[in-house]
């Protein structure tokens, strides 16, 4: 017996189109039940997907993907879309490496026309599709579904500035959290309903043609009427940003009222031009715990996961609060990730020195540069994969001017759940190409604190990278050695020891190094480990490594949870070869020139990327 009387029959948009209105409403309830059961088990983005059910179903009723393109900003709210486009049976593997992606992904389905994982990119891509269709003479539509939070990112406004009136482009503004508009009232709803009715559209077109045909004065009369209409509308409920840019605007309206949403989408098509539809939805709708606390249910952990207490993000925020109590020049900055980067407590204790600039990493970094140039000490918490977006700002605004900005590079390393768009594997490589930046890679809360204290008095930019997790269980095997307050390399052996091979590594992947050492020991092969917690300046690090290496010529293996090209291993290996009189037998195990995006389920991303304990053992043998 089928669990869901309607949903179990739906696989494609055509199946959705065949349903009656009453069946649609019943199916929407089934969708929410399915989401709650699956996502509370697998983990994932729940609240936003519960809120966007009606919009998704209406899109599949009105448009015909994959011919018509539906582009989701960030893509974490595309679960319902995946369910209804022949991927419902894959939800047990949601966000498992090689399983169903938690974001839109071109390689996953023909229905995913554009992939994403970072915010504010959808409209630029949609505009590219729409203009390409016009060039090719195609008649299909492109729809961008954009949450209100994405409008804090500059790319959205850059794209809006380039939108043209005569494109087959529909922009849905899904307001589900930030109050960027007036509350929906009966007048606003009435205006939205009128502007999308066929009678209104037909009458408007007929009147326009009639007035413009009046000899000599037709165009002038039409322009005058248009200006009077605009003035009256602005007096009634204010000027509109989208219409000022030349786009037809409809809304705001209730995005969880299915009939209204479908009616507005059909009305938008009848306009025959680019249209913005403003809808207001409720995050977590239909699931009371998520409605009451949508932030908590934005992205939830798998039911089987075990919390290990405080993580590096929390430790970063905790230490920053302690530093800020004694130094009134210290400020904290985040790009809309207050909780994720551990800065919630700082925001409460020092609200005048806390700045959330929205989803705008580029602006955040240059803003930090300004704070620093003005004599303050900004610390910014930002995910490694989001820091990529601010490369130019790091290079041009911070490093070139030798400004003291401290960058907490959160989520460094491979990210099991969120996949390729969120892997923090490029930061060491691109930071290493920027002159003057020091790079730390603490493995424990204690060494994180040492790095942050050093950074508070540094006269250069400092990047401190740390993983999404808690204190490494192997950190007690390595002392937190420091030289004048700067972390230094440490080894679990003495240079006089008889060692067959040495593994040089940094970050949480040290767990693989220790596993390899134990397995090699069982085979009678002696192995030592050198842990780096201060990577750059690389010359200094290379000198420390040389002082720790055994006297005899053993094999040296660099193990790096990051991209090989331009990474720390490649740079240090090159320096070591120049500094030694003899030829070191070195091998670099790092992520090759590719994205880590498995197409089949895998238990170990380390093994998939070729940087696991077994890969170390294979080299030694």
For the cut 80, the answer to whether the pLDDT of residue 429 exceeds it is yes
State how far the alpha carbon of 487 is from the alpha carbons of 430, 438, 532, 552, in Å: 22, 12, 8, 26
Residue 75's pLDDT is 85
b or e along 215-233 (b: 16 or more beta carbons within 10 Å of the residue's beta carbon)?
Answer: eeeeeeebeeeeeeeeeee
pLDDT tens by residue, 348-403 = 999 999 999 999 999 999 999 999 999 999 999 999 999 999 999 999 999 999 99
Catalytic residue flag (residue 553): no
Residue 224's pLDDT is 61
Residue 180's pLDDT is 32
Give the highest mean pLDDT range of 127-131, 145-149, 575-579: 127-131
- State percent of the chain over pLDDT 70: 88
Residue 221's pLDDT is 56
For the cut 60, the answer to whether the pLDDT of residue 619 exceeds it is yes
Residue 309's pLDDT is 75
Name the band, by pLDDT with cuts 50, 70 and 90, for residue 45: very high
Residue 3's pLDDT is 85
Q: Which of 170, 149, 137, 123 is nearest to 51 (CA)?
A: 149
**Which residue reads 């204790």 in tokens?**
349
CA distance 377 to 31: 48
CA distance 5 to 3: 7
State how far the alpha carbon of 592 is from the alpha carbons of 199, 451, 522, 580, in Å: 60, 29, 29, 27
For the cut 80, the answer to whether the pLDDT of residue 98 exceeds it is yes
Set 361, 362, 560, 561: catalytic member = 361
Catalytic residue flag (residue 361): yes
**Which residue reads 């900003």 in tokens?**
73
From 283-297, 330-344, 577-591, the region with the lowest mean pLDDT:
577-591
Name the band, by pLDDT with cuts 50, 70 and 90, for residue 182: very low
CA distance 274 to 168: 6
Residues in contact with 587: Cβ distance below 8 Å, sequence separation at least 6, in sequence order: 555, 556, 557, 558, 619
CA distance 327 to 156: 37
DSSP, collapsed to helix, strand or coil, labels residue 257 as coil
Catalytic residue flag (residue 41): no
Task: Go through the domains of the chain in sequence order and give each one's CATH number.
Answer: 7-292 (3.40.50.970), 312-465 (3.40.50.970), 489-620 (3.40.50.920)
Q: What is the 3-state secondary structure (H, E, C) of 166-226?
A: CCCEEEEEEECCCCCCCCCCHHHHHHHHHHCCHHHHHHHHHHHHHHHCCCCCHHHHHHHHH
For the cut 60, the answer to whether the pLDDT of residue 194 exceeds it is no
For the cut 80, the answer to whether the pLDDT of residue 207 exceeds it is no
Q: What is the mean pLDDT of the chain?
A: 88
Q: Beta-carbon neighbour count of residue 214 at 10 Å?
A: 12
Q: Tell me the sheet residues that pair with 555.
A: 501, 585
Q: Beta-carbon neighbour count of residue 178 at 10 Å?
A: 12
- Give the torsion sign (CA, 302, 304, 305, 308): positive
- Left (φ > 0), alpha (ψ -120 to 50) or beta: where does 248 sit? beta
Set 168, 283, 377, 411: catalytic member = 283
Residues in contact with 502: Cβ distance below 8 Å, sequence separation at least 6, in sequence order: 491, 493, 527, 528, 529, 530, 549, 550, 554, 555, 556, 557
Name the band, by pLDDT with cuts 50, 70 and 90, for residue 466: very high
pLDDT tens by residue, 479-537 = 777 777 788 898 888 877 889 999 999 999 999 999 999 999 999 999 999 999 999 99
Name the band, by pLDDT with cuts 50, 70 and 90, for residue 416: confident
**Alpha helices for 483-600 (secondary structure H):** 510-522, 538-548, 568-579
**Which residue reads 């709210």 in tokens?**
77
Residue 211's pLDDT is 61
Set 69, 87, 319, 389: catalytic member = 389
For the cut 60, the answer to whether the pLDDT of residue 36 exceeds it is yes
Q: Which long-range contacts (CB under 8 A, 24 or more apart) does 317-320 make?
A: 317/341, 317/342, 317/343, 317/344, 317/345, 317/346, 317/381, 318/342, 318/345, 319/448, 319/449, 319/452, 320/346, 320/379, 320/452
For the cut 80, the answer to whether the pLDDT of residue 255 exceeds it is yes
For the cut 60, the answer to whether the pLDDT of residue 231 exceeds it is no
pTM reported for the whole predicted model? 0.86
pLDDT tens by residue, 289-341 = 998 888 888 888 887 766 667 899 999 999 999 999 999 999 999 999 999 99
Q: Specify the DSSP element, H or E, that contains 88.
A: none
Class of residue 171 by CB neighbours under 10 A (exposed 0-12, middle 13-18, buried 19+): buried
Residue 190's pLDDT is 43
């Amino acid at each position: 017996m089928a669990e869901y009387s309607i949903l179990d029959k739906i696989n494609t948009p055509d199946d959705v189109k065949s349903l009656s209105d009453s069946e649609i409403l019943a199916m929407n309830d089934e969708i929410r039940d399915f989401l709650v059961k699956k996502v509370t088990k697998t983990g994932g983005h729940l609240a936003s997907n519960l809120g966007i059910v009606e919009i998704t179903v209406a899109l599949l009723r009105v448009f015909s993907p994959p011919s018509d393109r539906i582009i989701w900003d960030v893509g974490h709210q595309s679960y319902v879309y995946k369910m209804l486009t022949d991927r419902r049976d894959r939800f047990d593997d949601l966000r498992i490496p090689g399983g169903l992606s938690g974001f839109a992904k071109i390689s996953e389905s023909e229905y995913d026309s554009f992939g994403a994982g970072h915010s504010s990119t959808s409209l630029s891509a949609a505009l590219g599709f729409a203009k390409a269709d016009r060039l090719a003479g195609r008649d299909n539509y492109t729809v961008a579904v954009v949450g209100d939070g994405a409008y804090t990112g500059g790319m959205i406004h850059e794209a809006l500035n380039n939108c043209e009136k005569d494109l087959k482009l529909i922009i849905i503004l899904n307001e589900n959290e930030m109050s960027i508009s007036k509350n929906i009232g009966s007048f606003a709803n009435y205006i939205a309903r009128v502007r999308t009715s066929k009678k209104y559209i037909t009458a408007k077109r007929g009147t326009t043609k009639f007035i413009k045909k009046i000899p000599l004065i037709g165009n002038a009369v039409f322009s005058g009427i248009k200006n009077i209409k605009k003035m009256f509308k602005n007096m009634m409920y204010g000027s509109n940003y989208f219409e000022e840019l030349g786009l037809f605007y409809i809304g705001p309206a209730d995005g969880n009222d299915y009939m209204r949403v479908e009616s507005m989408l059909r009305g938008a098509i009848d306009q025959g031009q680019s249209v913005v539809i403003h809808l207001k939805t409720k995050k977590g709708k239909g699931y009371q715990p998520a409605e009451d606390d949508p932030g908590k249910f934005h992205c939830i952990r798998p039911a089987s996961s075990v919390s290990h207490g405080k993580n590096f993000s929390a430790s970063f925020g905790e230490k920053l609060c302690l530093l800020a109590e004694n130094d009134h020049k210290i400020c904290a900055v985040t790009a809309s990730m207050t909780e994720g980067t551990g800065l919630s407590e700082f925001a409460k204790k020092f609200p005048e020195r806390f700045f959330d600039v929205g989803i705008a990493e580029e602006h955040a970094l240059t803003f930090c540069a300004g704070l620093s140039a003005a004599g303050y000490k900004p610390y910014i918490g930002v995910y490694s994969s989001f820091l990529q977006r601010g490369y130019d700002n790091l290079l041009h605004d911070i490093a070139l001017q030798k400004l003291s900005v401290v960058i907490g590079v959160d989520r460094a390393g491979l990210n099991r759940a969120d996949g390729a768009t969120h892997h923090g594997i490029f930061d060491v490589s691109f930071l290493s190409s920027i002159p003057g930046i020091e790079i730390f890679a603490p493995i424990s809360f204690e060494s994180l604190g040492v790095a942050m204290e050093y950074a508070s008095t540094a006269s250069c930019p400092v990047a401190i990278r740390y993983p999404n997790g808690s204190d490494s269980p192997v950190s007690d095997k390595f002392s937190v050695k420091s030289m004048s307050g700067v972390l230094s390399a440490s080894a679990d052996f003495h240079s006089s020891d008889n060692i067959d091979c040495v593994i040089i590594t940094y970050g949480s992947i040290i767990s693989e190094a220790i596993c390899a050492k134990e397995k090699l020991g069982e085979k009678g092969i002696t192995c030592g480990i050198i842990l780096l917690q201060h990577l750059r300046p690389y010359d200094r690090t290379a000198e420390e490594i040389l002082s720790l290496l055994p006297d005899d010529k053993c094999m040296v293996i660099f193990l790096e949870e990051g991209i090989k090209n331009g990474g720390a291993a490649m740079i240090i290996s090159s320096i070591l070869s120049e500094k030694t009189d003899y030829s070191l037998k070195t091998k670099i195990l790092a992520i090759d020139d590719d994205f880590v995006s498995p197409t089949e389920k895998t238990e170990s991303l380390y093994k998939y990327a070729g940087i696991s304990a077994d890969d170390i053992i294979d080299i030694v043998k």
